[in-house]
Amino acid sequence: MMTCRMLMVTLGLLAGLGAFAQKKSADLDLTDIEEILELDEGQEDFDFDNIREDLEYFLGSPLDINAATVEDLRALGILSELQIQNIVAHRQYAGDFISMIELQAVPGIGVPVAKLLASICEVRGNSGTVAPLGKRLTEGDRLLFLRWTRNLQDQRGFLPNSEGKTPFEGDANKLYMRFLHRHGNNLSYGLTAEKDAGEAFFRASNRQGFDYYSGHLWWKTPDAKLKQVALGDYTLSFGEGLVMHSDFGYGKSGFIKDVKKSFRKMRSYRSVSESNFLRGGALQYALSDRLELTAFGSYRRRDANVVEPDSLDQEDRFVSSLQLSGLHRTATEIEDEGSLGLLTAGAHLSYEAGRVTVGATGMTNRFDRELRRGDAPYLLFEFGGSEVHHLGLNYNIHLGSVNVFGEVAQSMPGGRAIATGVLSSLSTKLDAAVFYRKYDPDYVSLWSNGLGETSRTNNEEGIYAGLEFRPDYGWLVQAYVDLWKHRWARFRIDAPSTGSEYYFKIGYRKKRQWEVYCRYRSETKYRTENLDGITIDRIYATLRSQLRFNVDYNVTPSLRLRNRIDFSWWRVDQIEEENGFLIYQDIIFKPVGSKISATARYALFDTDGWDSRLYAFENDLIYNFSIPPYSGRGRRYYLNLRYKMSSLVTLEARYSEWNYSDRTFISAGNNRIDSNRRSEAKVQMRLSF
């Protein structure tokens, strides 16, 4: 057996796998994740910064590929469930890896994925021991981030009104602080604090300093019955996210592995989104070799719109909606802050036998005020009350190169949600996925994040089918079709409706030299339109199409250029039409051996309106990202500078600006800027010790 293993490694070396020689590259290629975020219409609560931070941490402290558990591999965020199971199965069948080159022998692991894994993992054997908890608490790596951000043009909320008062309570500075301590892959604790622009700081409603604080302590003990413990703020993910998925999830994309939610069950929370996390405690306990229990409890004050009744009875106050912005600048926003208490508790029991895993989840949620949504038709099936319970059953089965997965969930009160799918490696060049979901209109989804056209996980039935084809080295063809229907009215749609989406991408990548791809996406939906001269509102089909050409190439080892042009077309049944385009040039300058690096963009855009908007991922300060919508007519440019003073201190600065040619003011209300320019400056310091 050992002779065969050594022969395989030798042949791998002779086959040109020398790409692994530079495995500790500090330049992680995460363009796949960037594209997924763009397709999700610029969602900004995705935990991209923490994913990148974790991956870059493993550049300096590689994960032991022989000791990594399924949960560890899921936490990387770059592997499909099939790839994870195949790595584990390879270890069980052939023994520990003796070289990272052996990854090429694992089904479903191609050269790009293997190279990325080789940069963040290594072979150390499976004999490592976990340090005592006290040592992990005091020894390890520490990071401290301090960041200042400010819009350079005044918004109306910062200007005195007729009474000489400003609508916003605080100043225009946005402040951020984060401390993180971590010891290997088995302990972390930290504190995150943020003050948004317009929020008070050490005065008025925020005498405690920052408006938002988040802290966590997380550790795991893989050789003990007690596997993991999380205290403070944390996230959970079970099954396909129909009952609980407070972690950040991918939406539909050409990367078909993401239809299966391959996330670890529990992890610490380090982001600044103020809504989608739990606060309390959770633990993971091994009842036996195959049976595992995850128990959790959380109590949080949530922002909500409290409605005062037309009486003196304060107990009759109720909540009409939850507020998710996390902004507390005006008197109304401050009044809504923490006005609703939410108690969440439950457990997940999972049983694993070989390549079959089944699980059951039970959860209860209790509000300290009644939730009443209103009487608009589309709100008919929305949850109302102060208490809701959930039960869910999930399964994950591996049959050779086929992965069958799914979950069934019931809310009480409310309806049912079903999700099931199949992932398959049809050959070394072809992967396929099929995913079906049926979410009842009255299914209550407080913590759900099931895959679908919307993130609500209710009032939707649909089927997704996708393919990934690699005809030759460097080539990638992706395609998917998604068909769905909504059984009840939705916001801006006053009747049941259907929809469809088609996606096709073809690209070629020559590693470390250049990449080119072309992408087309078309989506048909329905919405209610109120047209002049027609007294009755009608439902019209809307068609939105996008076409992209992208070229990314290295001019020198230090200079990388990216050129892109996007087109968009939007129309409503020949009644209304919008067109648009976006073109930009990116410059990424990272001199080899230099302490200074820079990234820049210059973009021109012209769209007829909001419906023809386009999204583009932007490089930002380290562990930051933004995906703003380009709408209207104008220019967009930014410059990021990074100076690594030493191994301990890194300084960064960013300047960005929108310059519109089709308007004299930007935004509305308190956010209005009486100018056609909106500029932003950022400065950040990172201390590593």
CA–CA distance, 215 with 189 (Å, rounded to integer): 7
pLDDT higher than threshold 90 for residue 563: yes
Looking at residue 377, its pLDDT comes to 85
Q: What is the Cβ-side half-sphere exposure of residue 178, based on CA atoms within 13 angstroms?
A: 24
Sole residue written with tokens 């077309």: 569
Instruction: Please give the mean pLDDT across all residues of the chain.
Output: 87
**CA dist list (Å): 418 to 237, 346, 379, 565:** 16, 20, 22, 39
How big is the chain, counted in residues?
689
**CA dist list (Å): 274 to 212, 271, 449:** 8, 8, 17
Among 207-211, 227-231, 310-314, 505-509, the minimum mean pLDDT is found in 310-314
Q: What is the Cβ-side half-sphere exposure of residue 405, based on CA atoms within 13 angstroms?
A: 25
Name the DSSP class of 308. Answer: P
CA pseudo-torsion sign 8, 14, 19, 22: positive
Phi-psi region of 492 (alpha: psi -120 to 50; beta: other; left: phi over 0): left
Higher confidence at residue 252 or residue 414?
414
Beta-carbon contacts of 260 under 8 Å, excluding residues fewer than 6 positions away, are 80, 81, 240, 403, 405, 421, 423, 433
CA–CA distance, 178 with 192 (Å, rounded to integer): 4
CA–CA distance, 310 with 58 (Å, rounded to integer): 58
Residue 349: strand, helix, or coil? strand
Beta-carbon contacts of 666 under 8 Å, excluding residues fewer than 6 positions away, are 658, 660, 672, 673, 675, 676, 678
Phi-psi region of 502 (alpha: psi -120 to 50; beta: other; left: phi over 0): beta
CA–CA distance, 326 with 147 (Å, rounded to integer): 18
Contact 136/183 with Cβ under 8 angstroms? yes
Contact 101/282 with Cβ under 8 angstroms? no
Q: What percent of the chain has pLDDT over 70?
A: 89
Residue 44 has which token pair?
């900004």
Amino acid of residue 55? L
Beta-carbon contacts of 2 under 8 Å, excluding residues fewer than 6 positions away, are none
Amino acid of residue 208? Q
Looking at residue 43, its pLDDT comes to 53
pLDDT higher than threshold 90 for residue 267: no
Q: Which helix (H) or strand (E) holds 8?
A: helix 2-14
Contact 262/74 with Cβ under 8 angstroms? yes
Mean pLDDT across the stretch 489-494? 88
Looking at residue 673, its pLDDT comes to 96
- pLDDT per position as a tens digit, 211-234: 999 999 999 887 789 999 999 999
Q: How many degrees, rounded to 5, is the angle at CA 252 between CA 476 and CA 400?
A: 65
Contact 97/118 with Cβ under 8 angstroms? no
Burial zone of 366 (CB within 10 Å; 0-12 exposed, 13-18 middle, 19+ buried):
middle
Residue 413 has which token pair?
């009160």
CA–CA distance, 671 with 189 (Å, rounded to integer): 36
Among 92-101, 445-454, 551-560, 635-644, the minimum mean pLDDT is found in 92-101
Amino acid of residue 214? S
pLDDT higher than threshold 50 for residue 460: yes
pLDDT higher than threshold 70 for residue 4: no
**CA dihedral of residues 63, 66, 71, 73 (deg, nearest 10):** 60
- pLDDT per position as a tens digit, 359-402: 999 999 999 999 988 888 888 888 888 999 999 999 999 888 89
- pLDDT per position as a tens digit, 313-367: 556 778 888 888 899 999 999 999 999 999 999 999 999 998 899 999 999 999 9
pLDDT higher than threshold 50 for residue 16: no
Per DSSP bridges, beta strands 63-64 and 121-122 are parallel
**CA dihedral of residues 9, 13, 16, 18 (deg, nearest 10):** 110
CA–CA distance, 155 with 171 (Å, rounded to integer): 11
Place 10 in a pLDDT band, splitting at 50, 70 and 90. very low
Beta-carbon contacts of 261 under 8 Å, excluding residues fewer than 6 positions away, are 237, 239, 240, 241, 245, 249, 451
**Whole-structure pTM value:** 0.88
Sole residue written with tokens 């400065």: 683
CA–CA distance, 264 with 220 (Å, rounded to integer): 13
- pLDDT per position as a tens digit, 624-664: 878 899 999 999 999 999 999 998 999 999 999 999 999 99
Residue 90 has which token pair?
């390879």
CA pseudo-torsion sign 337, 340, 343, 348: negative
Q: By C-alpha distance, which of 511, 423, 404 is closest to 107?
A: 423
Q: Which helix (H) or strand (E) holds 283?
A: strand 278-286
Sole residue written with tokens 């972390």: 188
Question: Which of 208-214's residues contact partners 24+ apart within 8 Å by CB, and which partners?
Answer: 210/175, 210/177, 211/328, 212/272, 212/274, 212/326, 214/269, 214/270, 214/271, 214/272, 214/277
Cis peptide before 413 (omega within 30 of 0): yes
CA–CA distance, 283 with 297 (Å, rounded to integer): 10
Name the DSSP class of 309. Answer: P
